[in-house]
Amino acid sequence: MRRRSPQEKKRLSYAKDRRNDYGENDKSSRKNIPRNKRAPHRANRHRAAQVLEAARGAVDEVAEAAVEERLLSRRPKSWKKYSDAPLGEVVQQTLARRMWLGIESRERGEARIQRIRRRLRQLGIHS
């Protein structure tokens, strides 16, 4: 395996490293993602159990059909994780925010953003 230069490592880092930009503490995701995946599954199981409870007892085709239709009539709950953003995009947003707030001068901020975009373009990633 060939050695990578520091510049190439930085370009790859901007393109491939990911950061949580959802707006919450990134450490909280360790607990929140499993919790958010668990809750809809539990709600779906609970609802199915309640609907099937109505079909207990003697076999009755009418009640069985009604329960099955009621069970399938509602879309199950689901949850999907937002994917994390590439580091290059997060850094660009941070620099743009600093310029907007007046923390960083416009000229310096624009120059830094252009450098990041140039690095990403060298990898064929357009930002």
Which residues have CB under 8 Å from 13's CB, separation 6+? 87
Asked if residue 127 has pLDDT above 60, the reply is: no
Question: What digits encode the pLDDT tens for the residues 94-122?
Answer: 999 999 999 989 999 999 999 888 888 88
Task: Tell me how far apart the alpha carbons of residues 71 and 63 are, in angstroms, rounded to a whole number.
Answer: 12
pTM metric for this prediction: 0.61
Domain ranges of the chain: 1-21+85-127, 22-83
Please give the average per-residue pLDDT across 82-99, as a whole number. 90
Q: Which letter, b or e, does each residue of 29-41 get, where b requires 16 or more Cβ atoms within 10 Å of its Cβ?
A: eeeeeeeeeeeee
Give the per-residue pLDDT at 82: 83
Please give the backbone phi and psi of residue 47, each rounded to the nearest 5 degrees, phi first.
Answer: -65, -45
